């Protein structure tokens, strides 16, 4: 939102207040533990001077793949990172479905979250059935507010999977509404509009992904691979398109499958670094930028706050000081 838009919002709110339309906002109580629920009236994460980052992925594995590295890096610096899966993943397997699969996939991402040092929530919406409804827009808006987010990340709305697309749409639909006091008045609006980011993808139509921010994840790559190895239903057993042949039958087969998983993801993140090498050099300098092996990339959405280069460095405190 542009500054003037926030300013006009303030004027409107002020006039309404002067006219006797009281703002009955709920008291903000310090949470003993980070808020992890998605309905109204839940505590807001108190502002402790650290960054709040919330990422929405469509399935229980998407956030971990796209931002598991930078998530761990923020978390190591004491910032607050939350991953939200907008569906419960309950059709994402070739041989099981429904409640048992949803529970299994929740357990997998909770185990991954422990390794990465992030908070994870899986919304109880059926896999393959996410729609950009008003109800879901309110859920996403409240979650962003409750996390007191400085940064919000999601898929781009150009993607092969409908759940990915609509997760991107839901983030876009919240990008202005998080500051509007009379939408979801049970959850206090954000005072400062976050920066909204898209995670990287390879889709070309109507426009390809643009890497505005590329982060080296070399310092945490083994941890990220450890976290991804927890998501066995997808990366060992093959998810919806897998088969019984993929399930390891012996300890040796399991070890080999985990090794394949690690190498496949390692080369995927190395490909991200190679693809956006110019941006890495711009952000890290020539020598360091050339040495980065694995990376994660993000595009700035034009609907939220537009960060200056200095603010990008404050929000991503991983780049070397500029001379
Ligand atoms: Zn997905």
CATH of the domain at 56: 3.40.50.10320
CB 65, CB 228: distance < 8 Å: yes
Task: For residue 18, tell me if it sits in a domain.
Answer: no
pLDDT at res. 41 = 58
| Span from the CA of 60 to the centroid of ligand 1 (angstroms) | 7
| Span from the CA of 86 to the centroid of ligand 1 (angstroms) | 10
**220's tokens:** 């945490």
| Span from the CA of 11 to the centroid of ligand 1 (angstroms) | 41
| Span from the CA of 186 to the centroid of ligand 1 (angstroms) | 30
Q: Which of 294, 287, 241 is nearest to 265 (CA)?
A: 294
| Span from the CA of 106 to the centroid of ligand 1 (angstroms) | 14
Cβ count within 10 A of residue 211:
19
What is the domain range of residue 209? Answer: 51-315
Helix (H) or strand (E) holding 298: strand 295-300
| Span from the CA of 61 to the centroid of ligand 1 (angstroms) | 7
pLDDT at res. 34 = 41
Question: Strand pairing partners for 52?
Answer: 80
Domains: count for the chain = 1
At 90, is the secondary structure helix, strand, or coil?
A: coil
Task: For residue 22, tell me if it sits in a domain.
Answer: no
What beta strand segments (E) does 64-212 contain? 80-85, 119-122, 151-154, 195-199
pLDDT at res. 12 = 40
Question: Strand pairing partners for 121?
Answer: 84
pLDDT at res. 284 = 97
pTM, 2 dp = 0.87
CB 94, CB 139: distance < 8 Å: no
Alpha carbon distance 240, 246 (integer Å): 12
Alpha carbon distance 119, 176 (integer Å): 25
Task: For residue 32, tell me if it sits in a domain.
Answer: no
Task: For residue 6, tell me if it sits in a domain.
Answer: no
How far CA 38 is from CA of 1, 33, 55, 95, 121, in Å, comes to 24, 15, 14, 30, 9
At 100, is the secondary structure helix, strand, or coil?
A: helix
pLDDT at res. 6 = 42
| Span from the CA of 212 to the centroid of ligand 1 (angstroms) | 22
Alpha carbon distance 92, 65 (integer Å): 16
| Span from the CA of 143 to the centroid of ligand 1 (angstroms) | 19
Task: For residue 38, tell me if it sits in a domain.
Answer: no
| Span from the CA of 57 to the centroid of ligand 1 (angstroms) | 7
pLDDT at res. 322 = 74
| Span from the CA of 17 to the centroid of ligand 1 (angstroms) | 43
Q: Which of 163, 30, 25 is nearest to 84 (CA)?
A: 163
Task: For residue 16, tell me if it sits in a domain.
Answer: no
**51's tokens:** 């960054």
Q: Classify strands 119-122 and 80-85 as parallel, antiparallel or unpaired.
A: parallel
Average pLDDT, the chain: 90
The backbone region for 269, taken as left when phi is positive above 0, alpha when psi lies in -120 to 50, beta otherwise, is alpha
pLDDT digits (tens, 9 = 90+) for 177-214: 999 999 999 999 999 999 999 999 999 999 999 999 99
How far CA 46 is from CA of 89, 114, 210, 252, in Å, comes to 30, 22, 33, 47
| Span from the CA of 169 to the centroid of ligand 1 (angstroms) | 15
Alpha carbon distance 41, 310 (integer Å): 35
pLDDT at res. 119 = 96
Task: For residue 159, tell me if it sits in a domain.
Answer: yes
Task: For residue 23, tell me if it sits in a domain.
Answer: no
Backbone angles phi, psi at 153, to 5 degrees: -125, 140
Q: Is the peptide bond before 111 cis (omega within 30 degrees of 0)?
A: no
Q: Which residues, by Cβ under 5 Å, contact ligand 1, an ion?
A: 58-59, 62
Q: What is the CA radius of gyration of the chain?
A: 20
pLDDT at res. 251 = 97
CB 57, CB 63: distance < 8 Å: yes
| Span from the CA of 5 to the centroid of ligand 1 (angstroms) | 34
Taking 70 as the pLDDT cut, the residues of the chain under it are: 1-41, 323
| Span from the CA of 13 to the centroid of ligand 1 (angstroms) | 39
| Residue whose entry in the numeric block shows the structure tokens 């990465």 | 116
CB 190, CB 148: distance < 8 Å: yes
């Amino acid at each position: 939102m542009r500054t003037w838009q926030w300013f006009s919002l303030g004027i409107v709110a002020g006039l309404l207040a002067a006219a006797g339309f009281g703002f009955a906002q709920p008291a903000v109580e310090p949470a003993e533990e980070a808020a992890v629920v998605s309905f109204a009236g839940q505590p807001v994460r108190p502002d402790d001077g650290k960054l709040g980052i919330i990422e929405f992925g469509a399935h229980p594995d998407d956030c971990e793949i796209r931002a598991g590295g930078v998530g761990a890096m923020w978390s190591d610096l004491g910032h607050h990172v939350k991953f939200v899966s907008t569906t419960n993943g309950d059709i994402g397997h070739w041989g099981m479905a429904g409640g048992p699969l949803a529970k299994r996939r929740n357990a997998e991402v909770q185990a991954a979250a422990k390794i990465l040092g992030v908070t994870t929530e899986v919304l109880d919406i059926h896999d393959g059935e996410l729609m950009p409804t008003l109800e879901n827009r309110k859920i996403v808006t409240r979650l962003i507010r409750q996390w007191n987010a400085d940064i919000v990340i999601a898929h781009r709305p150009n993607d092969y999977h409908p759940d990915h697309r609509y997760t991107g749409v839901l983030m876009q639909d919240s990008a202005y509404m998080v500051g509007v006091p009379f939408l979801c008045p049970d959850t206090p609006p954000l005072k400062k509009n976050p920066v909204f980011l898209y995670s990287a993808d390879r889709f070309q139509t109507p426009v390809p992904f643009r890497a505005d921010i590329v982060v080296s994840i070399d310092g945490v790559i083994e941890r990220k691979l450890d976290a991804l190895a927890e998501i066995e239903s997808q990366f060992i057993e093959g998810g919806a398109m897998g088969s019984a042949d993929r399930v390891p039958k012996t300890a040796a087969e399991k070890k080999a499958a985990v090794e394949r998983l690690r190498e496949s993801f390692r080369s995927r993140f190395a490909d991200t670094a190679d693809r956006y090498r110019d941006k890495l050099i711009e952000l890290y300098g020539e020598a360091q930028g050339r040495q980065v092996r694995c990376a994660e990339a993000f595009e700035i959405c034009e609907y939220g706050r537009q960060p200056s280069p200095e603010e990008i460095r404050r929000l991503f405190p991983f780049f070397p000081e500029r001379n």
